[in-house]
Amino acid sequence: MLTLVTIAVGPVSITAAAKPPPVKTSGFVSADMAVIETIVVAFWAMLPAYVPNNAAVVAGGGRPIDGGRTWGEKRVLGDGKTWRGTAAGILAGVALAAVLSAIAEPASSAIGIDVPAFTPFAAIGLAAGAMLGDILASFLKRRSGRQRGAMFPGLDQLDFVVVSLPLTALLAFEWFRAVFTWEVILVVVILTPILHVTTNVIAYKLGLKNEPW
Ligand code: CTP
Ligand code: MG
């Protein structure tokens, strides 16, 4: 119910609408829900980009992509970037996107949050972009004189986001625009380093990785 309050100040008359006080709890609940929804959508949408790195660690080995070549006395990429690891990573990401797409509808109704299915181009953009970002990071590490396995704070945690999001936007623009709102992108930028650090420490403790980063 709106009550009109009229205050007469000399010749000027100000009319203000005195609204009833907002129901606080419902306001907070809906704000929290929006944040949770954004986090769930961001995590779901990024899964095909998160998994390739871990699949590469498990499946990696064999012939390095750079074939042992050097550039200015330094390896181009190093032994840590292999064809097998890269192929396994991309396949794992695309396969996961297919599985998530198949269960997107039942999952959405089960959790009450609309999670997206992936178009084939979106799946490829996310998975291949993640691997490409990781390879680009190794290239930058070698150029800056860092040995294989050396830490590069910032780059280590966000390398795959930096390439997978633009590549996905390029390959599947409409899908990208619908799913990656600026709120989702913000959550991805905050969530990714946290997840990256956590999963790498776990992989290190399990003996899958030589370094905890
Ligand atoms: N891996 C792979 N192919 C890739 C990425 C990773 O085979 N494209 C495997 C390698 O066995 C690698 C391991 O996963 O050693 C860990 O990956 P990562 O930490 O990215 O590589 P590093 O060995 O740390 O090498 P770099 O310093 O170049 O990142
Ligand atoms: Mg490493």
Q: For residue 196, is it within any domain?
A: no
Domain encompassing residue 63 = 47-180
Nearest alpha-carbon partner for 55 in 209, 177, 192, 181: 209
Global pTM? 0.85
**Among protein residues, the one whose CA lies closest to atom 16 of ligand 1:** 57
Compute, in angstroms, the gap from residue 209 CA to the centroid of ligand 2: 8
Q: For residue 173, is it within any domain?
A: yes
Q: For residue 77, is it within any domain?
A: yes
Q: How far lies 205's CA from each of 51, 156, 199, 209, 213, in Å?
A: 18, 18, 10, 8, 11
Compute, in angstroms, the gap from residue 98 CA to the centroid of ligand 1: 25
**Among protein residues, the one whose CA lies closest to atom 11 of ligand 1:** 60
Q: For residue 72, is it within any domain?
A: yes
In the chain, how many domains are there?
1
Phi, psi of 9 (to 5 degrees): -115, 100
Sequential pLDDT tens for the chain (213 residues): 444 444 444 454 445 555 665 555 555 567 788 999 999 999 999 999 999 999 999 998 999 999 999 999 999 999 999 999 999 999 999 999 999 999 999 999 999 999 999 999 999 999 999 999 999 999 999 999 999 999 999 898 889 899 999 999 999 999 999 999 999 999 999 999 999 899 889 989 999 888 888
Instruction: Count H helices and E strands in the chain, helices first.
Output: 6, 4
